[in-house]
Amino acid sequence: MFLFIDNPSVIVQQVPPQIQVNVQMPPGMPEWLRIVISAAVGALFALAGSLVGEYVKPWIAKRHARKSMIPQLNEELLGNVRVIENAKAVLAGSGGREDAKEMIAGLMLTMMRRDRFNYYYVEQKSLLYEYDKRLVELYSLPPMAQTFLVNSRDGEIPKILKIADELVKNFIEAHNLVYPQA
């Protein structure tokens, strides 16, 4: 059985003619060059930001630590003002033996709270000195008083109390703190 086809064009379809489209490049810089330039600029900004960040981070951390340290130390100091005032009152009181009054005042001075100061003295010593060196001088007095009490050095406790009182008054005045009233 043979199949005869009258029109061979039915079996073979014609190939459409090739159409040529000319696309012109947009004016300006080629796209690949824009991509390379933007990647390079992004890398430079990332590198610069990283380098600047390394110098700014410690400054921010120091500022934050200082911001939290100052109110804590001021609060502790203002609490210790009462201890110093009471020790001065014991020394100024009438009656009793002078050596006993001096011993009681010295013991009171050694009871000053130093927890926050000790923490910052160990952890942030430079920040503490930067804030006010008088705190370091003030908080070195209770151990000194304890040494004088143990060694029975008469007449030293009133001197220490006078120094402590002056340091506290100067500190409070310098930092515009409110002196606690009785």
Phi-psi region of 28 (alpha: psi -120 to 50; beta: other; left: phi over 0): left
Q: What is the pLDDT of residues 20-66, one digit of tens each?
A: 888 777 778 888 888 999 999 999 999 999 998 888 898 888 888 88
How far is 37 from 133, CA to CA, in rounded Å? 54
d(CA 54, CA 60): 11
**Extended beta strands in 52-178, E state:** none
Q: What pLDDT, in 10s, does the model give residues 108-119?
A: 888 888 899 999
Write down the pTM of the prediction. Answer: 0.65
Q: Which pLDDT does position 91 carry in this prediction? A: 83
What would the DSSP string read from start to end of 108-169? HHHT---HHHHHHHHH-HHHHHHH-HHHHHHHTHHHHHHHHHHTT-TTHHHHHHHHHHHHHH
Q: Is the pLDDT of residue 175 over 60?
A: yes
pLDDT at residue 161 tops 60: yes
Quick one: pLDDT at residue 182?
57
Phi-psi label, residue 176: left if phi above 0, alpha if psi -120 to 50, beta otherwise: left
State the DSSP H helix or E strand holding residue 128, giving kind and residue range, or none if neither: helix 125-131
In tens, the pLDDT along 128-143 reads 888 888 888 888 888 8
Helix (H) or strand (E) holding 8: none
Q: Which of 104, 94, 96, 109 is nearest to 161 (CA)?
A: 109
**Structure confidence at residue 1 (pLDDT):** 54
